[in-house]
Chain A
Amino acid sequence: MTNAANATIGFMLSRGWFWTSLLEGLKLTLYISGVSILIAFVFGIVVGVMRYSRVPVISWIATAYIEFIRNIPLVLLMLFCFLVFQLKDVTAAIFALSIFTTAVIAEVVRGGLNSIPKGQWEAARSQGMSYLQILRHIVLPQAVTKMIPPIVSQFVTAIKDSSFALLLGVVELTARSNILKGLFPAVGQILTIYAVIAAMYFVINFAISVVARALQKRLSAGRGSIGQ
């Protein structure tokens, strides 16, 4: 590696395994964040509905969960799942990220549910619908339009936060910088490694942010016309 030709940026960028290594890291990053978002979507709706519930014990349990998880660092939660719950590294990362994202999505769901006027409940109840029927057929479908944009942008947060998994020894995209930096130690190469990794995160996250913003615009426009 002391060979001058090996120390160029071009040499590094033309190695196939340089890109394979980064793509493997990216795959793991997307796997951890994707699975966590899916799990959190399901449980987030459950916890959000519990939080919204008028049964005190149920809403209190959901509140305690949300408040506790949102006020401790995700890094700590990951280390706890890894070392105390003795989960495998990737599993611990997914578990912790799911627990955390569930709390965030639950708050989004509650916000969405709160935005539906009480009159909708009263109208549906007067038609003889049960609590679950109203939730399932009247309130949730309307609330979902408000919930989608923040949930989509939560995906960006999950992708970024999955990088904490490197503390557990998971070799995801951010952790690849440590390995590649050792193999390509020239100053220009190191700078390029970080730039390429940052660009990979940026392209994916920026695209998701743009989608979230477009959805927000479209859904809020739709709401206005329905409301009239």
Chain B
Amino acid sequence: MGSSFTQWVENLGLMFSEAKWSSLFQHFDLVWKGLGYTIVAALAGLVLALVLGIVFGVLSASRNRVAQAVARIYVEFFQNTPLMLQVVFLGFGLPIIWPQFNVVPVLMVGIIGVGIYHGAYISEAVRAGIQSISKGQLEASLSQGMSYVQAMRYVVIPQALTVVLPPLTNQAVNLIKNTSVLLYIGAAELMYVSKSIQATYYNPGPVYLVAMGLYFCLCFPLAFLARKLEERAEASAGSGQA
């Protein structure tokens, strides 16, 4: 046991040898390219998730029973099954079932996957935002001579955004992290590039350490912003009750 632990530590040390680092740095242009694809996938995925989230959020906050049911099914299905399964289906199942889907580039397949998945979470945030505003607010604004657009612009939307923005920002962080599953369907984002480099040079230590650093740099500022927005939302909710 003792000697196998020593062996383990020794192996760990070898993984971070100078040669392993230099083989990574020789191909660092690939890492930047992968990071670029990760950012593209995350941005496009976020746009799709926002569109779906707003549409289904509005549907689930509406008074129409059918619309509510449709939104509920969308949210519950995608929140209660793994993203990995959804992506595996889009990448390996759907192209067999529906051969025309084969022409869709893998990056696009991945964007569709993370977009639909996170759209379900954003839809819940949008619904909460809409439901947080009482109808009296709109009526009161209109009675003060504001137009509908003015009432929305100055009274309703700013308050709804206070509720919606913190979970939305958190979802953006999760979405960036979850683009890493695209590795499995072969989209050339950061995880895929990392895997290719480490499979060629067997240097997973430096490769994955650098990838961690890059993901952290993408996610941490957003997570920090989410925290600030949460604090602001709590403060405004607190003063409302006083």
The one of A68, A163, A185 in contact with B84, judged by C-beta atoms closer than 8 angstroms, is: A163
* B24 in contact (CB, < 8 A): no
A73 and B178 contact, CB distance less than 8 A: yes
**Chain B: minimal CB distance from A184 (Å):** 11
CA distance A202 to B82 in the complex (A): 9
The residues of B that contact A65 with a CB separation of less than 8 Å are none
Type the 1/0 row for A63-76, where 1 means its CB is closer than 8 Å to any CB of B: 00001101111111
By the criterion CB–CB under 8 Å, are B180 and A76 in contact?
Answer: yes
B220:A194 contact, CB within 8 angstroms: no
6 A-B pairs closest in CB distance: A163-B84, A205-B80, A73-B180, A71-B219, A83-B204, A160-B82
- The majority secondary structure among interface residues of chain A is helix
Decide: B191 and A85 in contact? CB cutoff 8 A: no
Residues in A with CB closer than 8 Å to B204 are 79-80, 83-84
For the complex, give the distance between the alpha carbons of A120 and B148 in Å: 48
Task: Find B220's partner among A71, A86, A187, A205 (CB 8 Å cutoff).
Answer: A71
Q: Which residues of B contact A163 (CB under 8 A)?
A: 82-85
B117 to chain A, nearest CB (A): 10
A160 to B96, CA, bound (A): 24
Complex Cα distance, B175 from A196, in Å, reads: 26
Specify which chain B residues have a CB less than 8 angstroms from the CB of A166 in the assembled complex: 84, 88, 184
A174 interface contact, C-beta 8 A:
yes
Binding site for B on A (CB under 8 A): 67-68, 70-76, 79-80, 83-86, 156, 159-161, 163-164, 166-167, 174, 177-178, 181, 185, 187, 190-191, 193-194, 197-198, 201-202, 205-206, 209
Whether, in the assembled complex, B36 has its beta carbon less than 8 Å from a beta carbon of chain A, the answer is: no
Q: Which residue of A lies closest to B80 (CB)?
A: A205
> In the complex, which residues of chain B have a beta carbon less than 8 angstroms from the beta carbon of A86?
8, 11-12
Interface contact A202-B77, CB-CB below 8 Å: yes
Pairwise interchain contact B180-A181, C-beta atoms closer than 8 A = no
| Interface status of B151 (Cβ within 8 A of chain A) | no
CB proximity to A under 8 Å, residues B201-228: 204-205, 208-209, 211-212, 215-216, 219-220, 223
Knowing that A76-B194, A84-B204, A84-B205 touch, tell me 8 more A-B residue pairs with CB under 8 angstroms.
Answer: A75-B191, A76-B208, A76-B215, A79-B204, A85-B12, A160-B80, A191-B93, A209-B80
A68/B216 contact (C-beta < 8 A), A86-B11, A177-B88 known = yes
Q: Chain B residues near A161: list those with CB within 8 A.
A: 82
Chain B, interface SS category: helix
A85 / chain B contacts, CB cutoff of 8 Å: 12
**Residues in A whose Cβ lies below 8 Å from that of B198:** 83
Set of chain B residues within 8 Å of A160, measured between Cβ atoms: 80-84
Judge if B97 is at the interface, Cβ distance under 8 Å.
Answer: yes
Q: How far is the CA of A84 from the CA of B89 in the complex (A)?
A: 30
Give chain B's interface residue range (CB within 8 Å of chain A): 35 or more
Q: Using a CB-CB cutoff of 8 Å, which residues 166-180 of chain B contact chain A? A: 173, 177-178, 180
The answer to whether A190 touches B93, judged by C-beta atoms less than 8 angstroms apart, is: yes
**Which residues from chain A contact B89 at a C-beta distance below 8 Å?**
177, 194
A-facing residues in B60-102 (Cβ within 8 Å): 76-77, 79-85, 88-89, 92-93, 96-97
Find out whether the CB atom of B191 lies under 8 angstroms from the CB atom of A178.
no
Given the known interface contacts A72-B212, A84-B15, A84-B205, the answer about A178 and B92 at a Cβ–Cβ threshold of 8 Å is yes
B74 → chain A closest CB, angstroms: 13
Interface centre among A174, A177, A187 (most CB of B within 10 A): A174
Contact B85 A164 (CB under 8 A): no
Name A153's closest neighbour in chain B (CB-CB).
Answer: B79
Show 26 residue pairs from A and B whose CB-CB distance is below 8 angstroms, ordered by the A residue: A67-B220, A68-B216, A70-B173, A72-B177, A72-B212, A73-B180, A73-B191, A73-B215, A80-B204, A80-B208, A84-B208, A86-B12, A156-B80, A163-B85, A177-B85, A181-B93, A190-B93, A190-B96, A190-B97, A191-B93, A194-B93, A198-B85, A201-B81, A201-B82, A202-B80, A209-B76
